[in-house]
Amino acid sequence: MSKRIEAILFDFDGTLANTLPLIFHSFKALFKEFKNKEISSEDIVDMFGPTEVGIIHNHFTKDKEKAIRRFYELYKDKHPEFLHKTEEIEDLLKFLKEKDLKLGIVTGKGSQTLEISLDLLDIKNYFDVLISGDDTKIPKPDPEGIFKALDILKISPQKTIFIGDSDADIGAGQKADVYLTIGVNWISDYLQFNLKPDFIFKDVKEFRNLVEKELEMN
């Protein structure tokens, strides 16, 4: 009997790690250093969609390459200060791998910052596929990243759960016609949902319980 679910794909920022404060700090410092401009966290959220490099290309007219290098320095140097391993998340990933599920990340985050975070948090080994914003032409809510991940995994959307913390994630999951879309604010409630995912969870254990029930029905 085939499994009801075979793959779980995660967004990264705000879903697997509380990277938003680090991203906010890095961009605020960058804009201050290169443009002598104060920007708010809300301003940065409005820029979301492209990768970090894309944001810099969109908002900087000169010294773009220097600004990109500086952003990576800020992100990596401040990573230990702003971001720490989350035991609940790692326990969840261990549990899902023990259940022989394929795990992936589909994020708008650039590949270099994704690698920095995965390495420093030491969770890269849990994932079977990584799709960053550098791997897609169109950002979420377009489902391109989900389809790329599932093509690599050789798993259909109808046997996949997609998890994220924003409307862009839920929209991508719905457009890909995945089995379930899960909205989470278990790390940060900075972003609110206007779209309607199949479930919204504020606690990691709630999602784990859902997976256990789904697997029991296989």
Phi, psi of 3 (to 5 degrees): -70, 145
Determine the 3-state secondary structure of 183 from DSSP.
strand
- What the block records as the tokens of 167 is 């409307």
Say which of 11, 165, 167, 169 is annotated catalytic.
Answer: 11
Active site (annotated) includes residue 11: yes
Most distant CA pair in the chain, distance: 61
Give the number of residues written for the chain: 218
- Separation CA 197–CA 163 (nearest Å): 9
| Sequence-separated (6 or more) residues with CB below 8 Å from residue 17 | 83, 86, 89, 117, 121, 187
Residues labelled as active-site residues = 11
